[in-house]
């Protein structure tokens, strides 16, 4: 039986925090935007682009408050929770737009940011007291940690069965070989001792790391094994899946010890993360790196779908009830965004959208059933390519012009990160289902492009970030709060 | 007293309907009898177009106009001959005047032609824009935006808006987004000014009605003001209607009023009654003034809908309700125009 992700005590805490927010937010409401996405989905770029475009009033014709001239400005503010680092917006922007533009490195720890937006309401009763303000809270975190959320509903036995089943699949037997051999040599019913637990945990972590580096699998909890942060080596991170115990076990057996540690991991690592950052969201954007999964093949695509469905089932979605909002917040709008839309030609964006819809179909059905509104878009927070056409062997091919990052290879050519090329990445399939079928050859090769070299500057000297449909994404997510 | 009788009914009919055995055929042998799903609107729901002129009617007008132009040509010819007969220099003068007249007529004709084409172009733009939004057609939306910026290229008041449009255009990939951006930047300032023009006209009409001594004066003024308003709004949106263009515009506005009359009425009926009631309590003439003002407002709204080159997608449609405050303010405070 699946367990609820939170305990009664958590629920009380969440309700109290909501009430505190409602009390402080009586004059300045706070909108909590949940940026969710597995690792390398583009969360950091999305947040950086969001902050920069709001702060500088970037080029966003589709963002209604700005286009209608009602958006007055934004500034960064101190985040109320003093124990969590601030999102290093300036640093990320510098990396993206500096002399040697590069994509920021993967996020390794959690960080938060609050932006205060000032706008004039369109409603006369809000306009009476002049410009209104809205606090926008955003959290950035390693995408690997997101995979832990489904663990909240699983017991140790259920998780072990799932993890071992996945490890024994033929596709991952190479990476999982050592850990499976070690598991066979250890009797789970023998008295608990730490060296065994440590050996198991090390082997399991190696397996997780290697399957991630091969890029084939995206759904491998527990996420903290890969990015432990401060918890490295602590007992809560020293466990591994064990085959189900046949006999009744003693409470001092290895199995009981690891099961206890798994519960501790859930209770002391995952649940606070969920409770503090995801249980009280108003809006959610789900970033999906479709192209990377397409490059990797059908198994990765199917994996991505499973991971997204499992992760999104943990969120509290549903119609926002204005009477209950002071106590219980719900996500009433979810945007599914296929990121890196600049890596395909705009004529293929429809197909990219169709693939995204197929990937998130069960998650979005579930969300719509609970009353939330969903939409999907193909977006790019920072557009790295230009578009053009090329004629090759009598065919006119839509191409992308950009600089592939160093080390990207295609047809035996490895690019150095300086040469600019025109790329035709192949046609996306018309029928999204064909991506899930083995045997259908899908010839696609999406190279990763470096951030644009030369960026325009506006009248104030601020960099203007080119984007694709980012303004519409933003309009959907926060536009109605600024109405 | 009759005896009861029981007689078996004829059961032959029931026996013939035997259960048929299942059989399979090749699909090529089948005659398709599936009803074709027709997406076109059913004919009964669309009013038939107005009847074109009959053949006899067309013959009448054609022959009539040939006779009239022949008569005119003959008259001109005779006039010039007479002038030459009277005095050669008078004849030359008459010929010169005639030439100037023909030149002016030609120039006017060309201008009318372009004005009519401009009206047509605005119509076509609106249709295309609706299609670009529905189909999300980027190329079509691009063309519409280019066309619109070229129409407004000589307008100094839209310089900023044109710049916004040209700057944003290369970064948009969706047809409906391009149309929305163009509407927001180019149409919104024009909408605001068209509304201001309408409100000013309505106020003038209401004031004149309230103080005019004769009903005929009000009617004349309402017509004059409506014609002026429609022309001003058309010019504002870039239509520059000439004489014939103006007839077409008037026709379109009147058709629009007839078609949407009920619609507009329901939209503002409550406010109209309220406005009239309030104003009528103060003075019967003021009440009439408000009603006449509302009439002008409707003409203004109809003209906006007819000549605006983009459909109302992001901007709110103007409704009678928007103008009520202007009129009732006038009604309650007649000293202020």
> Does the N-terminal peptide bond of residue B256 adopt cis geometry, omega within 30 degrees of 0?
no
pLDDT at B277 over 70: no
- Section A398-425 average pLDDT: 83
Chain A environment of B180 (Cβ under 8 Å): 61-62
Residues A323 and A422 in one domain: no
Residues A36 and A121 in one domain: yes
Return the CATH number at A141.
3.40.50.300
**DSSP letter (8 states) at residue A148:** T
Residues A291 and A405 in one domain: no
Of B138, B177, B188, the CB nearest to A472: B177
pLDDT of residue B19: 75
Q: Which of A213, A233, A268 is where one domain is finished? A: A268
pLDDT of residue A246: 66
Residues A188 and A119 in one domain: no
Contact A349 B173 (CB under 8 A): yes
Local confidence band at B37 (pLDDT 50, 70, 90 cut-offs): low
pLDDT of residue A337: 93
Cβ neighbour number for residue B275 with a 10 Å cutoff? 23
Order of strands across the sheet that contains A373-378: A71-77, A111-119, A132-140, A30-37, A283-288, A333-338, A373-378
pLDDT at A477 over 80: yes
pLDDT of residue B216: 83
Ranking A16-25, A39-48, A328-337, B25-34 by mean pLDDT, the lowest is B25-34
Chain A environment of B173 (Cβ under 8 Å): 346, 349, 468-469
Min distance A306 CA to chain B CA atoms (Å): 30
Is A449 a domain residue?
no
Residues A338 and A471 in one domain: yes
pLDDT of residue B72: 92
Chain B environment of A59 (Cβ under 8 Å): 167-168, 171
Residues A331 and A391 in one domain: no
pLDDT at B303 over 90: no
Is A461 a domain residue?
no
Contact A59 B174 (CB under 8 A): no
Q: Identify the three-state secondary structure at position B334.
A: coil
Nearest CA in chain A to B169: A61
Say if A346 is an interface residue toward chain B (CB within 8 Å): yes
Ranking A144-158, A235-249, A295-309 by mean pLDDT, the lowest is A235-249
pLDDT of residue B336: 45
Residues recorded for chain B: 337
Say if A67 is an interface residue toward chain B (CB within 8 Å): yes
Range of the domain at A203: 153-268
pLDDT at B103 over 90: yes
Contact B184 A466 (CB under 8 A): no
Q: What percent of chain B has pLDDT over 70?
A: 80
Local confidence band at A1 (pLDDT 50, 70, 90 cut-offs): very low
Is A450 a domain residue?
no
Q: Is the ipTM of this complex over 0.85?
A: no
pLDDT of residue A26: 67
Local confidence band at B263 (pLDDT 50, 70, 90 cut-offs): very low
CB B138 within 8 A of CB B151: no
Residues A279 and A224 in one domain: no
Distance CA(A110)–CA(A107), nearest Å, equals: 8
Closest CA to A452 of A118, A98, A87: A98
- Section B167-181 average pLDDT: 88
Q: Which of A222, A240, A268 is where one domain is finished? A: A268
Higher pLDDT, B90 or B290: B90
CB A257 within 8 A of CB A190: no
Is A445 a domain residue?
no
Return all residues near A421 (Cβ < 8 A) that are at least 6 apart: A401, A402, A403, A404, A415
Residues A328 and A474 in one domain: yes
Residues A74 and A161 in one domain: no
CB A329 within 8 A of CB A321: no
CB A222 within 8 A of CB A265: yes
Q: Which of A225, A244, A268 is where one domain is finished? A: A268
Is A451 a domain residue?
no
- Section B137-156 average pLDDT: 90
Higher pLDDT, B134 or A446: B134
pLDDT tens digits, A281-319: 889 899 998 888 887 778 778 888 888 888 888 888 877
Residues A159 and A138 in one domain: no
Higher pLDDT, B335 or A395: A395
Q: What is the mean pLDDT of chain B?
A: 80
Is A456 a domain residue?
no
Contact B177 A349 (CB under 8 A): no
Q: Indicate the helix (H) or strand (E) that contains B193.
A: helix B188-211
pLDDT of residue A378: 92
**Upper half-sphere CA count for residue A163 (Cβ side, 13 Å):** 29
Q: What percent of chain B has pLDDT over 90?
A: 19
Contact B168 A59 (CB under 8 A): yes
Is A197 a domain residue?
yes
pLDDT at B12 over 70: no
- Section A401-430 average pLDDT: 82
Say if B168 is an interface residue toward chain A (CB within 8 Å): yes
pLDDT at B34 over 80: no
Residues A82 and A94 in one domain: yes
Say if A64 is an interface residue toward chain B (CB within 8 Å): yes
Residues A370 and A391 in one domain: no
> Total domain count for chain A?
3
- Section A248-253 average pLDDT: 74
- Tokens 């070299």 belong to A453
């Amino acid at each position: 039986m699946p367990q609820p992700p939170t305990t009664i005590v958590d629920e009380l805490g969440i309700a109290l925090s909501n009430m505190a927010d409602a009390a402080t937010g009586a004059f300045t409401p706070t909108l909590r935007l949940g940026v969710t996405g597995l690792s390398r989905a583009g969360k950091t770029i999305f947040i950086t682009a969001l902050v920069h475009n709001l702060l500088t009033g970037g080029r966003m014709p589709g963002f209604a408050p700005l286009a209608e001239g009602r958006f007055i400005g934004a500034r960064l503010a101190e985040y109320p929770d003093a124990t969590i680092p601030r999102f290093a917006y300036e640093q990320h922007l510098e990396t993206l737009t500096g002399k040697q533009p590069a994509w920021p490195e993967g996020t390794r720890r959690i960080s938060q940011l609050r932006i205060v937006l000032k706008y004039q309401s369109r409603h006369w009763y809000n306009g009476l007291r002049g410009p209104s303000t809205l606090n926008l809270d955003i959290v950035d975190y390693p995408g690997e940690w997101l995979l832990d959320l489904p663990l909240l509903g699983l017991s140790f036995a259920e998780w072990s069965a799932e993890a071992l089943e996945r490890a024994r699949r033929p596709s991952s037997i190479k990476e999982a070989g050592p850990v499976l051999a070690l598991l066979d040599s250890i009797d789970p019913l023998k008295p608990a001792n730490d060296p065994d637990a440590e050996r198991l945990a090390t082997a399991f972590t190696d397996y997780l790391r290697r399957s991630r580096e091969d890029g084939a699998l995206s759904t491998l909890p527990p996420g903290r094994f890969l990015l432990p942060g401060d918890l490295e080596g602590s007992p809560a991170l020293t466990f591994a899946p064990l085959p189900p115990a046949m006999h009744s076990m003693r409470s001092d057996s290895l199995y009981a010890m690891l099961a206890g540690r798994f519960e501790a991991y859930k209770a002391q690592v995952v649940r606070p993360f969920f409770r503090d950052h995801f249980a009280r969201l108003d809006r959610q954007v789900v970033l999906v790196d479709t192209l990377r999964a397409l490059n990797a093949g059908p198994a990765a695509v199917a994996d991505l779908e499973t991971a997204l469905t499992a992760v999104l089932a943990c969120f509290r979605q549903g119609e926002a009830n204005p009477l209950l909002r002071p106590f219980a917040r719900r996500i009433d709008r979810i945007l599914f965004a296929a990121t890196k839309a600049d890596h395909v030609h705009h004529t293929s964006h429809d197909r990219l959208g169709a693939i995204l819809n197929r990937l998130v179909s069960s998650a979005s059905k579930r969300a719509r059933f609970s009353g939330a509104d969903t939409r999907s878009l193909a977006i790019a927070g920072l557009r790295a390519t230009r578009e053009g056409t090329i004629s090759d062997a009598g065919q006119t091919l839509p191409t992308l012009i950009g600089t592939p990052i160093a080390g990207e290879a295609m047809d035996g050519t490895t690019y150095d990160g300086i040469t600019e090329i025109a790329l035709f990445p192949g046609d996306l399939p018309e029928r999204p289902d064909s991506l899930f079928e083995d045997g259908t050859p899908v010839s696609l090769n999406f190279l990763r492009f470096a951030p644009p070299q030369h960026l325009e500057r506006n009248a104030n000297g601020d960099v203007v970030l080119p984007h694709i449909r980012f303004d519409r994404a933003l309009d959907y997510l926060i536009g109605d709060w600024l109405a | 007293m009759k005896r009861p009788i029981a007689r078996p009914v004829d059961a032959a009919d029931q026996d013939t309907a035997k259960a048929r055995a299942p059989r399979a055929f090749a699909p090529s042998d089948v005659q398709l009898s599936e009803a074709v799903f027709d997406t076109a609107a059913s004919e009964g729901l669309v009013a038939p177009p107005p009847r074109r002129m009959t053949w006899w009617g067309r013959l009448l007008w054609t022959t009539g106009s040939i006779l009239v132009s022949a008569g005119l040509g003959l008259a001109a010819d005779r006039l010039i001959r007479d002038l030459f007969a009277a005095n050669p220099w008078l004849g030359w003068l008459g010929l010169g005047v005639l030439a100037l007249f023909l030149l002016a007529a030609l120039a006017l004709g060309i201008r009318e032609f372009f004005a009519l084409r401009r009206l047509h172009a605005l119509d076509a733009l609106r249709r295309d824009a609706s299609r670009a939004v529905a189909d999300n057609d980027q190329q079509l939306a691009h063309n519409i935006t280019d066309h619109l910026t070229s129409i407004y290229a000589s307008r100094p008041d839209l310089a900023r808006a044109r710049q916004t449009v040209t700057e944003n255009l290369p970064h948009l990939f969706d047809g409906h987004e391009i149309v929305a951006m163009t509407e927001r930047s180019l149409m919104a300032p024009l909408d605001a000014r068209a509304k201001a023009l309408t409100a000013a006209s309505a106020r003038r009409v209401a004031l004149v009605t309230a103080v005019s001594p004769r009903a005929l004066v009000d009617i004349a003024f309402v017509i004059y003001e409506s014609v002026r308003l429609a022309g001003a709004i058309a010019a504002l949106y870039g239509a520059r209607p000439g004489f014939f263009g103006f007839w077409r515009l008037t026709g379109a506005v009147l058709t629009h009023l007839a078609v949407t009359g009920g619609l507009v009425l329901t939209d503002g009926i409550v406010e109209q009654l309220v406005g009239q009631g309030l104003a009528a309590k103060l003075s019967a003439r003021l009440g009439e003034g408000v009603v006449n003002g509302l009439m002008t407002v409707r003409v203004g709204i109809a003209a906006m809908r007819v000549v605006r080159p983009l459909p109302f997608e992001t901007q709110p449609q103007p409704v009678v309700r928007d103008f009520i405050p202007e009129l009732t303010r006038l009604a309650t405070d007649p000293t202020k125009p």
